[in-house]
């Protein structure tokens, strides 16, 4: 019995602008993460990302995506491990810091190395230490699937949220 699926049909061209697409995506509220790693030279790498999601419980898999144009792409594409730090509601300044360009993002930021050396940020609501299991090139981004080797969370913490281009410490009304 052949279980292969028929080839997918081609998508129609979009009937909307990139701005309209971005605005529509902004209506989906997400949590906020900082993805961290060490590059081949041992330098700490980190960036703010809201493209985080669970994939599988068995094995434990998560995903996130990164623009192909990101300066940190080589570190994540070639590295074996990274950590995903889910930010707590009181960490808005940290999210903004790790989204900024041209600064030392780790200067003065409390952190410690995880089991693979990827930085774990103090005060995070949850952390996921991941083996860089697979990558998928799609559009202008790369989707990273991580196999979670260790995770932890803090009970009673509210997460930082992102909706409509703004950060929230509680659900927007």
pLDDT of residue 158: 92
Mean pLDDT by 10 residues, the chain (173 residues): 73 90 89 96 96 96 97 95 98 97 95 97 98 96 98 94 89 57
Asked if the structure places residue 170 within a domain, the reply is no
3-class SS at 20? helix
pLDDT of residue 44: 97
pLDDT of residue 9: 85
For 92, the domain range is 33-109+118-164
Asked if the structure places residue 20 within a domain, the reply is no
Asked if the structure places residue 123 within a domain, the reply is yes
Asked if the structure places residue 3 within a domain, the reply is no
**119 and 46 in contact (C-beta within 8 Å)?**
yes
Asked if the structure places residue 85 within a domain, the reply is yes
The pTM of the full predicted model, rounded to 2 decimals, is 0.90
**47 and 67 in contact (C-beta within 8 Å)?**
no
Asked if the structure places residue 144 within a domain, the reply is yes
Q: What is the CATH number of the domain that holds 42?
A: 2.30.110.10
Would strands 30-31 and 61-67 be described as parallel, antiparallel, or unpaired? unpaired
Asked if the structure places residue 18 within a domain, the reply is no
SS3 per residue for 61-102: EEEEEEECCCCCHHHHHHCCEEEEEECEHHHHHHHHHHHCCC
pLDDT of residue 3: 61
Domain count, the chain: 1
């Amino acid at each position: 019995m052949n279980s292969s699926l028929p080839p997918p049909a081609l998508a129609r061209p979009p009937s909307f602008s990139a701005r309209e697409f971005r605005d529509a995506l902004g209506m989906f509220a997400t949590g906020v993460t900082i993805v961290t790693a060490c590059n081949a030279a041992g330098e700490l790498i980190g960036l703010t990302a809201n493209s985080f999601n669970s994939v599988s419980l068995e094995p434990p898999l998560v995903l996130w995506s990164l623009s192909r144009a990101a300066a940190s792409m080589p570190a994540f594409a070639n590295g074996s491990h990274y950590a995903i730090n889910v930010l707590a509601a009181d960490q808005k300044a940290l999210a903004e810091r790790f989204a900024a360009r041209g600064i030392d993002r780790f200067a003065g930021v409390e952190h410690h190395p995880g089991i693979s050396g990827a930085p774990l940020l103090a005060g995070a609501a949850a952390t996921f230490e991941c083996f860089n299991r697979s990558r998928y090139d799609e559009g202008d981004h790369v989707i990273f699937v991580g196999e979670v080797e260790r995770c932890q969370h803090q009970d009673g913490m509210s997460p930082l949220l992102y909706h409509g281009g703004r950060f929230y410490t509680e659900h927007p009304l």
